[in-house]
Amino acid sequence: MRVLMISKACVVGAYQRKLEEMAAHEDVELTVIVPPEWRDERGALKLERSYTKGYRLVVEPMALNGNFHLHFYPRLAKRFAEVQPDIAHIDEEPYNLATWHALRLARKHSARALFFSWQNLNRRYPFPFNAIESRVLRRADYAICGNHDSEKVWRAKGYRGPVAVIPQFGVDENLYSHPLSPSPFGRGERGEGFTIAYAGRFVPEKGADILIRAVAGLDNHARLVLVGSGPRREALIQLANDCGMGSRLSVRAWMPSTEFPNFLHSIDALVLPSITQPNWKEQFGRVLVEAMACGVPVVGSTCGEIPNVIGDAGLIVPEGNAPALADALRQLQSSDSLRADLRAKGRERMLALFTQKRVADETVKVYRNMMAR
């Protein structure tokens, strides 16, 4: 079966491992459309070519790059005519112009079409996005949802087609390897003391301020590394200074996805302290799975999908509660046995549920179901 995937997310090199695993299935002939870059609050994410064997990776210019709702690929019709796909895998939310555009082309070429969604809140959109959403929900042949709340949202909005709950991407267990396993990328050197890290956007909903307050309450052997970018960067640094953290805080910019595992091997714990907002709650928390794969104990809040991702392989604290987060980090800092237990459980959970191969296999199973229907 010929599959045409449209995915701006696949500019990230580490995510392309899933594409290789999908293409390894003998009945899949895969072409993937990506932009040369995707722009968001982190800046321009340039296309990384890390895993490109077994499928075609086609770079297409994107109109309105950086506009989540309105971007699209002006030359996509040419690619549909060239590939003549049996299935169009539209790796976008159903209320986006890019989804409507690709679905329309799929219908023109008699291809079955699916959309992907992380949306876990039942939000109402103004025109024209509500009209786009309505049409996509009526005409799509299948939906893949990244979490269980997302499936509930689209059922409530009237989608009646089949749904599979599969994360958008898994983790490469060789790239994100356990500290005791061989790694082709080397190892990060652990520093003195107990190193806690957060990696993500510097925005209010991610709760980095809660983490700063929690770490400020720990002893001087605990230090914090914030990795990422965003509008609250300077405010977070100022908060750390006000809390007396001084040199115990360091801030690092985003790094290439293939370098991130080496960073994870240099830390003792990773925290995702997200906070539910009226218009947002955590949709997955991929960085948790990446840390678990590397044998790093994780701590997450009760926000959104985080507890379902962590399961019993980490510590979960009430969202927005700095004292509770501090207590959890003290437990980790003071207990070698707890850290060892969570390292083992995290790696085991990732291998069972979140590898790129498992996500790829489940996605190909959806394709086969679509063809059978």
237: domain CATH number is 3.40.50.2000
Q: Which residues pair with 200 in a beta bridge?
A: 228
Do residue 118 and residue 221 come from a single domain? Answer: no
Supply the pLDDT for residue 184.
33
Do residue 328 and residue 364 come from a single domain? Answer: no
Residue 346 located in a structural domain: yes
Q: How many domains does the chain have?
A: 2
- How many angstroms separate the Cα of 28 from the Cα of each of 33, 124, 283, 366? 16, 37, 29, 12
Q: Is the pLDDT of residue 185 over 50?
A: no
Do residue 59 and residue 92 come from a single domain? Answer: yes
Nearest of 246, 244, 193, 202 to residue 222 by alpha carbon: 193
Do residue 159 and residue 280 come from a single domain? Answer: no
In whole angstroms, give the CA distance from residue 203 to residue 280.
Answer: 12
Q: What is the mean pLDDT of residues 165-177?
A: 92
Q: Read off the pTM.
A: 0.84
Write out pLDDT tens, residues 128-158: 999 999 999 999 999 999 998 999 999 999 9
130 token code pair: 């509500």
HSE-CB of 63 using CA atoms within 13 angstroms: 9
Supply the pLDDT for residue 183.
35
Supply the pLDDT for residue 215.
98
Residue 113 located in a structural domain: yes
Do residue 130 and residue 245 come from a single domain? Answer: no
Supply the pLDDT for residue 369.
98
- How many angstroms separate the Cα of 293 from the Cα of each of 99, 133, 200, 296, 302? 32, 36, 17, 7, 21
CA angle 42-47-50, nearest 5°?
A: 120
Do residue 344 and residue 366 come from a single domain? Answer: no
Mean pLDDT for the chain? Answer: 94
Residue 183 located in a structural domain: no
Residue 77 located in a structural domain: yes
Nearest of 289, 261, 273 to residue 351 by alpha carbon: 289
Residue 188 located in a structural domain: no
The residues, ordered by sequence, that sit 6+ positions from 73 with a Cβ below 8 Å of its Cβ are 6, 33, 35, 60, 61, 62, 63, 79, 98, 101
Residue-number span of the structural domain to which 320 is assigned = 194-353
Do residue 162 and residue 200 come from a single domain? Answer: no
Residue 57 located in a structural domain: yes
Supply the pLDDT for residue 259.
87
Do residue 224 and residue 345 come from a single domain? Answer: yes
Do residue 232 and residue 263 come from a single domain? Answer: yes
Q: Is the pLDDT of residue 181 over 60?
A: no
Q: Is the pLDDT of residue 198 over 50?
A: yes
Residue 180 located in a structural domain: no
Do residue 118 and residue 262 come from a single domain? Answer: no
Count of CB atoms situated within 10 Å of the CB of 65 = 16
Residue 234 located in a structural domain: yes
Do residue 122 and residue 205 come from a single domain? Answer: no
